[in-house]
Structure 1
Amino acid sequence: MASETPDPLRALQQLEQEQGDLKKRLAIIRISEPISDAGDSNPSPSKRRSDVSMSNWNDPTPASLEADLTHYKELFSKLRFSYLEQVTKEKFLRAIVGDPPLVVGHNENVEMETQLAKVKAELKAQKEEARLMIEEMETMGRELASRMASLLTLLLQWLTLNTCITGYKNVEVQMKQLSTLPDAIENLESTIAGLRAKQVAGMDSSDPRSSQNLPLPATRALLSEREAELAALNRQIAAVQNTLPRKTREAEALERECTVLERRKDEAITQAHEAQRKKQEGESDGLEEMGRWYRGAEKTLKEMVDVEG
């Protein structure tokens, strides 16, 4: 009997040799492995990868959101099935290769089934609660959508009414402008009539040059006269420009002389004021005596000249 009982370690090694590494085979599979399809360029919602970046998040629509929801439901359903399958296989293999092997009786199975029934009932109740909550949220979303549509309709009506009011105001302003147009047209017509009368009076005047409507010979004669005057003015300007440096130097010399004379004038005025002050104060600076002497000398010379004459 002992020889017929298989060695658990030897059986595990033989199983590894036949099926590969059990740790890799018994591990939970990746999410994308059972549902990926690399050869399909347009995967269906139930067979596409679980990468969120592949979803059209930039422009979501109700149809795309519904497809994403269906995809993830199927994805998690397959994930749960794969998880249960792998965990069951792992537990079964660990039970049969354990030392001692794990043996489960009928009573334990009954207890587990009872617990499983309770858990399933709780899960069903939670699912029902979630379903009711989802229905309530959908109802609320529809109500909000209808309210939003009503608000958008009211907003559109308000914008239309506002546009109509603005257009009516613009029409009123234009009507006021049109009401002032007849007076403006009348004023313009009277101004045009006055200008035409002045033009006719200028054409009928005795001086032909006072009008802008001269005949061609008179216009040419007037042009020749103006050109001759312009040439004379140009010659005068050239002559003035030639004499300008000399006149400038003369003006600078005269300005320097004027400056010297102004300075002498100021000095003479200052001396006169000083002499007047001294005279008022009774002081003598010798100028008065010198003046008397010069007068006496002049008188003497005149008498001598008269005597000789």
Structure 2
Amino acid sequence: MLQTLVSLGIASTVDVPLTIAATETALTELNDIFDKYAFKFRAFVLTAKVSDDTSSSNDKSRPRNSDGLEIDSNITLTAVTDELAASLELYPKLRFKYLEQEAKLLYLRDVFDIENMQMGDIEAEEKYLKEYKTELRELKDEIRVLLEEIEGAVQRVTKGWEENQKNLSELEKLPQDLSELDRAIKEEITRFEGDDETMHLPLNDTEALIRNLELEKSALGIEIRHLDNNVILGGKQQMEKLGRELEPMVMDYAELVGVVKQEKELREQVREKGQEDRNVEGRWNKAVIEGMKQMFDMVA
């Protein structure tokens, strides 16, 4: 009777999860398979021997082994030989599976660097990892929200800065316009003071032109003072307001950076025990912190 890996239960150890608990369970199953198959093989050999010894006997009673148990007399030496051939075929596979599970167990113990780890220790560690990952995801969400708020504040600051720069550019042009107007007035006065009578205007027209130029000059002066008092002052006030809005965000950022730093130290302690599955999250935290620092450097 030929046996297969599936009928022996060996196939169930192929996709064993890579944990110490699952590996120890698989090794226990393989040990049970070895014991059962060895007992079965010894029973077949004993049955064949007794059957061969009693085949020429006239005793019609059922053969019994040394323990007094009845043995099937229909089993022959040929059947046992076939069973032995199947055993020789399956034994290397059983041995390979056993060695494979032993290697997994050694690997896991080396990674965890913990002697005599029990099932309860593994479950507690897995529970801690689950809670740690949940807390880490919550921190990621908080950092994401804070980043969005900071980006919004940076956009508002940038917009206010651009408006102030535009107003400053207009203010820088006003003295030049005023200087050109003053020069034009002086040129007109110089022309009127010349000896060419054809260039002279009537007195009333000249006085009216002077009054208009002085009014325009006064209007430009008022506009300049208005821009000095309102535009520049308003821009400074807006910048101070935006700065006050950023202060709590900076404090929240510093607090989150402290929390992430603490979590990073915990992750370093766990990584010393061999748990490399947290490396990705640690690198992510580091990248987030560096990105936020660069963003604040740009704002500053």
TM-score normalised by L of structure 1 = 0.27
Which one has more relative contact order, counting CA pairs under 8 Å at least 6 apart? 2
TM-score normalised by L of structure 2 = 0.27
